[in-house]
Amino acid sequence: MRRTAGVLVMEHIAVGLVEGNKVVGPLRMVREKADSPNALHSMPADKIAESIRQQLESLAGEQIHAIGLGFPGVIRDGIVEDSPNLQQIKGFNLQASLTGALKLDGKDVPVRVFNDADAMAAGIAATRGKLGKLNRVWTLGNGIGFGRFPWSEGVWEGGHSVVTLDPKENFCGCGGRGHLEGILGYRSMRMRFLDMEPEEVFANAKTGDTRCADFVTRCHRALAAATATSIHMEGPGPFYLTGPTAKFIDIGLLGRFVHEMVKMSPLQGSPFEIIPPNDELGVIGAAVNAERAALSA
């Protein structure tokens, strides 16, 4: 089987070798600060690229046919055009940086860069034998990502879907108003509740705290609204939720809100599943997308 390298950059950097939709050997991890949701925020763009390169160079000796990289933000032709939660890398040509510096066994290996949530969607599809079906995923963390498989050209910044017309909803990292990320993003929740952490907000909601309970309802309605928009654009199908804050979501409540918003019978029937944070899925997905791109080139 052909071997491909996969890289996932979210709260940290994970690198692995992929064969037959499985990770071969251990994942290589790079963390600036252990267990920090903002681990890469203070790392310069060139240092991020250098950290990725060093980990990929450690795979020297392997017969690698392609390298896939999942990275947060708007990705076009290997350039990170914008990344609200890693603003230092805006405009950085990550693909060219790695292609120019990376040599494995003295050979040029094609590098492809994808949105990190798209990599997660591909990883879920690959490991569940659903490469022939539409799969969508919400990655919930410091920011909110939206991924789909099969991969196709597009911006796909679903985390910035407008889910409210309230002009006071201005907590999104990109500066836009009314965005899903401005409600459900970890950074946004911390800005909204300066007197408690997000974990405390959801815990207090369960004890009957009205302020916290109202916000939890708002979170679920916001995610339901963004999901319903996707359903109305591309049709029904499974949605997966993953990432550090996916644990906050009640999929029963989310499903009820989506049902309130999607009433046309051909569009109903989109199940939800929470998947615990899993770097392997993103690494596999980045590799799968790179392999498919290499085969179609």
Residue 17's DSSP bridge partners are 5, 24
- 8 Å CB contact between 70 and 285: yes
Q: Is residue 126 part of a domain?
A: no
Structurally, the chain folds into a number of domains equal to 2
Q: Are residues 112 and 28 in the same domain?
A: yes
Domain assignment present for residue 62? The answer is: yes
Residue 69 maps to a domain: yes
Percent of the chain with pLDDT over 90: 75
Answer yes or no: do 25 and 39 share one domain. yes
Give the residue with greater pLDDT, 60 vs 33: 60
Tell whether 174 and 218 lie within a shared domain: yes
Mean pLDDT computed over every residue of the chain: 91
Query: How far apart are the C-alpha atoms of 240 and 79, rounded to whole Å?
Result: 27
% of the chain with per-residue pLDDT over 70? 94
| 226/291 same-domain check | no
Same domain, yes or no: 97 and 201: no
The domain that holds 255 is classified in CATH as 3.30.420.40
Q: What is the pLDDT of residue 42?
A: 80
| 38, 86, 117, 189 from 43: Cα distances, Å | 10, 9, 21, 23
- Domain co-membership, 141 together with 208: yes
- Is pTM, for the whole model, over 0.85? yes
The tens digit of pLDDT for each residue in 265-286 reads 999 999 999 999 899 999 999 9
Assess whether pLDDT exceeds 90 at residue 107. Answer: no
Summarised one tens digit per residue, pLDDT across range 143-183 is 999 999 999 888 889 999 999 999 999 999 899 999 999 99
Which residue type, as a one-letter code, is found at position 111?
V
pLDDT of residue 242: 96
Contacts 24+ apart (CB under 8 A), 254-262: 254/220, 254/223, 254/224, 254/227, 257/220, 257/221, 257/224, 257/225, 258/224, 258/227, 258/228, 258/231, 260/224, 261/224, 261/225, 261/228, 262/228, 262/231, 262/232, 262/236
pLDDT at residue 60 greater than cutoff 80: no
Which two three-digit tokens encode residue 60? 């020297």
Residues 61 and 117 in one domain: yes
Q: Which domain holds residue 151?
A: 133-275
Residues 253 and 178 occupy one common structural domain: yes
CA 86 to CA 173: how far, in whole Å?
A: 10
Residue 69 has pLDDT above 60, yes or no: yes
Looking at the fold, whether 61 and 171 belong to one and the same domain comes out as no
What's the pLDDT tens digit per position in 210-226? 999 999 999 999 999 99
Q: Domain check: are 166 and 267 in the same one?
A: yes
What integer is the mean pLDDT of 21-30?
Answer: 90
Cβ 104 vs Cβ 86: under 8 Å: no
DSSP one-letter code for 93: E
Residues 139 and 100 in one domain: no
pLDDT higher than 60, residue 13: yes
Position 1 confidence tier, pLDDT thresholds 50, 70, 90: low
Q: Are residues 252 and 195 in the same domain?
A: yes
Q: What is the mean pLDDT of residues 132-143?
A: 94
